[in-house]
Amino acid sequence: MKTAVSEVTELEAWTEEDFGFHWDGQETLLLNGECLWRCTNGARFIVELVGRGHVFGFHDKDNPGTATGELAFGHDFAVIDDRWIVDIWSKHFVGLSERCVFDLEFESDAAEIRRLFGDRSKWTLVS
């Protein structure tokens, strides 16, 4: 398990082992003992790991047409520095994306952000 992040973008290259995910015989757990199947737990884990940021989310009925929302009736994810979305659940748990770090300021990320997270105006602060 890695323990420090100097740049949020480094998380893209982290493996499940780097994050410290482990199987307890029934489910995949984070280092803090929370289950990864709940996206909120993964988002809070990232905010704690990075040491800053917030958890945002949405309900599928309020932000329809997203790959994450359709799968789980809504979705929560970490937003760091109001610029970076970090979503380990989508990449490492359900495999909806090949990436877990997205730049809200980078135009080439816009389509994938829209596909996974939909309309930003529909996101609400969870923590």
Buried b / exposed e along 87-98 (16+ C-beta atoms within 10 A)? bbbbbbbeebbe
Residue 85 neighbours by CB under 8 Å, 6+ apart: 77, 78, 79, 101, 102, 104, 113, 117
Predicted model pTM: 0.92
How would you write the pLDDT of the chain (127 residues) with one tens digit per residue? 666 667 899 999 999 999 989 998 888 988 888 998 899 999 999 999 999 999 999 999 999 999 988 888 899 999 999 999 999 999 999 999 999 999 999 999 999 999 999 999 999 999 6
